[in-house]
């Protein structure tokens, strides 16, 4: 049997997270420099723009927490009226991003995302 590529492994991990968090709307693994590695996004979302803005948000947030002495950055939660975008580093090379409805249990999401981020980090 042929071993899975890293992209296939990451896609499998995202599918597992969707199984564990049924309310998950979208998710992606992007590179630290803002390129899509794997994504589960709707067609109306520009994957490249989504990835680039998430990487920029992580970069700026790392500077903020460093500047005020509360780093290192663990996660970012951007809340809107209809949902949240949660992003976290998955090792030095990757960022895990999830989009969930506003009423999702954030604690459960963070536990699952942290577990997945560790697995992703081990692949790079």
Q: Where are the domains of the chain?
A: 6-123
Tell me the pLDDT band of 66, cut-offs 50, 70 and 90: very high
Residues 6+ apart with CB under 8 A from 45: 26
| Threshold 0.75, pTM exceeds | yes
What tens digit of pLDDT does each residue of 10-23 get? Answer: 888 888 888 888 89
In which element (H, E) is residue 94 found? strand 94-101
What pLDDT digit, counting tens, does each position of 88-124 carry? 999 998 999 999 999 998 998 999 999 999 999 988 7
DSSP 3: P
The per-residue pLDDT for 4 is 64
Fold adopted by 6-123: Beta-Lactamase (3.30.450)
| DSSP state letter for 43 | T
Angle (CA) 73-28-10 rounded to 5° is: 100
Between the alpha carbon of residue 108 and those of residues 20, 97, 103, 113, 116, the distances in Å are: 9, 15, 12, 9, 12
């Amino acid at each position: 049997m042929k071993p899975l590529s890293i992209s296939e492994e990451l896609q499998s991990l995202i599918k597992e997270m969707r199984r564990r968090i049924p309310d998950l709307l979208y998710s992606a693994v992007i590179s630290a420099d803002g390129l899509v590695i794997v994504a589960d996004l709707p067609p109306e979302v520009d994957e490249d723009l989504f990835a680039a803005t998430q990487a920029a948000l992580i970069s700026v947030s790392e500077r903020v927490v460093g500047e005020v002495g509360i780093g290192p950055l663990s996660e970012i939660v951007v809340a809107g009226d209809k949902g949240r975008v949660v992003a976290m580093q998955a090792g030095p090379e990757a960022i895990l991003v999830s989009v969930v409805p506003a009423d999702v249990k954030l604690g459960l999401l963070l536990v699952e995302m942290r577990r997945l981020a560790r697995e992703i980090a081990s692949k790079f």
